[in-house]
Chain A
Amino acid sequence: MNQTRRNVLKAGGGASLYALLAAAGLLQPDAALAADWNQKAFEAKNLKDALGALGAGTPANSNDIVMTAPEIAENGAVVPIGAVSKLPGTESISILIAKNPTALAASFDIPAGTEPAVSTRVKMAESSDVYVLVKAQGKYYVTKKEIKVTIGGCGG
């Protein structure tokens, strides 16, 4: 998030643009910033680059993140993934698929009052480790699970 804001500042040539955006209400912390689409992270080809672009570096493994996903996915086009964080102060939950053409599948911002639990369905190009990355109290934690895909899904 900070990086994006810095880019905006750089592109706009300084404080005047920032003031303008702030005045227009575009920089409200929980509206505008939460909605930023992190292009660098979503276009990262591998897990390490995606984690780097998210600012997660090398996250610590945690048993307080529960991933609900099948061991074997018959159809790689539709793989249900559920993620629950038991870490106090969970701010965001991201899903990353190591062997997909782009590793980052989704990031969810969890505002106060929202349960740190999301479910969705993702595409997997091939059997791969799937990671759930949680940001809690400013620190990053991760858990992983290998999901085997019997029919490829990227493209469908």
Chain B
Amino acid sequence: MADPMRIRAVAKDGIVSVKILMSHAMETGQRKDEAGKAVPAHFIQQVSATWQGKTVLSATWGTAISKNPFLEFSFKGGQKGEKIQVTWTDNKGDKRTDEATIN
């Protein structure tokens, strides 16, 4: 299981801005290891964020997203103290969900 995401969600003037830092190797499949063998691709394909059961962002990613991906977005309506959940799924079927409280 991968390390937890770091999620920061801050409400201001009715808009919640969310910053997420994920922990993932994001291997492109193009890189070779020391023995010259290609390292298989291993990368996050899908990310979604939900608030109050509503999807506030969903993304699909290719291999070009940097290692330990960063994502920033914002949505209307969230209040302090409410929770948001973020889930990613990678190409090997690994999955991780983390939750954060809006500040």
Report Cα–Cα, A113/B54, bound state, in Å: 10
Chain A residues in contact with chain B, CB under 8 A?
30-31, 34-38, 42, 77-80, 82, 97, 100-102, 104-111, 113-115, 117-124, 154-156
> Nearest chain A CB to B8's CB is how many angstroms away?
13
Q: Is the CB of B60 within 8 A of A102?
A: no
Q: How many residues from B make CB contacts under 8 Å with A?
A: 32
Mask: chain B, 46-69; 1 = CB below 8 Å from A; 0 = not:
101000001111111111111101
Contacts of A107 in B (CB 8 A): 59-61
Contacts of A78 in B (CB 8 A): 66-67
The secondary structure that dominates the B interface is strand
Given contacts A113-B56, A115-B75, contact A35 B62 (CB under 8 A): no
Q: Is the CB of B28 within 8 A of A114?
A: no
> Nearest chain B CB to A91's CB is how many angstroms away?
12
Report Cα–Cα, A124/B65, bound state, in Å: 9
Contacts of A117 in B (CB 8 A): 73-74
Given contacts A36-B60, A111-B56, A120-B65, contact A101 B30 (CB under 8 A): yes
Report Cα–Cα, A77/B63, bound state, in Å: 11
Q: Is the CB of B46 within 8 A of A77?
A: no
Q: Is the CB of A37 within 8 A of B46?
A: yes
Q: Is the CB of B64 within 8 A of A113?
A: no
Report Cα–Cα, A101/B31, bound state, in Å: 12
Q: Is the CB of A34 within 8 A of B65?
A: no
Contacts of A111 in B (CB 8 A): 54-58
